[in-house]
Amino acid sequence: MNAISAEKRGAFGFLLPALLVVFCLIVVPLCCLAIYSFWSLDDAGLISQTFTLSTWTEFFLDSYYVGVLLKTLRLAVVSTIICALVGYAPAYFLTTLNGRARTFMIVLLFLPSWISYVVRTMAWLPILGRTGLLNTTLVDLGLLKQPIQLLYNDYAVYLGMVHFMLPVMILNIYIGLQTVDKNVVAAARTLGATSSYTFVTVTFPLALPGLAAGCLLCFVLSTGAYITPMILGGPGSKFFSNMLFETIITQLDWPLGAALSLILISLLLLLIYVYGRLIGLATITKSVRA
């Protein structure tokens, strides 16, 4: 018993610095946000440190905030689905390669990540602009009489988000496929199952945790995206992160910004809780270890 207690104390000692960092950088700021969310901004632009629920009721009573939140959730859902549909085939292809070729392809997959996320997002400007590569090519080929508006709309934001998250989705699906026992697949083929039937009934269900982990990560990244909507969506594009920036930085309305932040965080925590109940958070842990 003493040996076990000593091991627990030693493990807690190693864990203590990480717990302190989490407490100072996550728990304390969230508590500050919670306190700010129950204050209000008076007519003079000063924060009134009196308890009120006005910032919370403003969100639920104003359809503007709810509409922006729903638009952001739609962006997250659609981008995640596109990444899953587009990324499954490349992830499956990686499992068919040998060790050296597979390593080379994975390095190529994450090679764009070595470049700044802002630079990668801005790279779409000369491609989608009215005088950009895509419009110029389509006009030269005679497919368009004049350039069309490809930038500064929601479609450009969707494209940018898929471009950013696709490697994350591919890697998680690949990790899920790697956990599938090859003997089980071989047994299904031996019993007369076709390749497509084996994939649908054996490979896909066993690799589903990897796909689910990729969907969760992509959804969370999409809901908090700020750079992509700002650069590709233009000034008129309103998503939740951009709205938070305007509320806190431009309008200096810290109480309302705190309430909006907590609402978004609560939704994401609820999503993670549901994911943990249905799939299990161990799939994300496996992805990190891999």
pLDDT of residue 260: 92
* Cα–Cα distances in angstroms (integers) from residue 283 to residues 173, 174, 227, 274, in the given order: 11, 12, 28, 14
Distance of alpha carbon 238 from alpha carbon 21, whole angstroms: 33
Distance of alpha carbon 221 from alpha carbon 213, whole angstroms: 12
pTM for the whole structure:
0.85
Other C-beta atoms closer than 10 Å to the C-beta of 209 total 20
Those residues with Cβ within 8 angstroms of residue 168's Cβ, 6 or more apart along the chain or in another chain? 83, 214, 217, 218, 221
Q: Which two tokens stand for residue 157?
A: 């934001």
Those residues with Cβ within 8 angstroms of residue 183's Cβ, 6 or more apart along the chain or in another chain? none
Other C-beta atoms closer than 10 Å to the C-beta of 189 total 14
CATH of 63-289 among 2.60.210.10, 2.40.30.10, 1.10.3720.10, 1.10.287.3510: 1.10.3720.10
Distance of alpha carbon 242 from alpha carbon 260, whole angstroms: 12
Distance of alpha carbon 2 from alpha carbon 123, whole angstroms: 60
Q: What is the mean pLDDT of each run of 10 residues along the chain (290 residues)?
A: 61 82 91 91 81 88 91 94 95 89 89 86 91 89 87 91 93 91 87 86 89 92 90 85 90 90 92 80 48
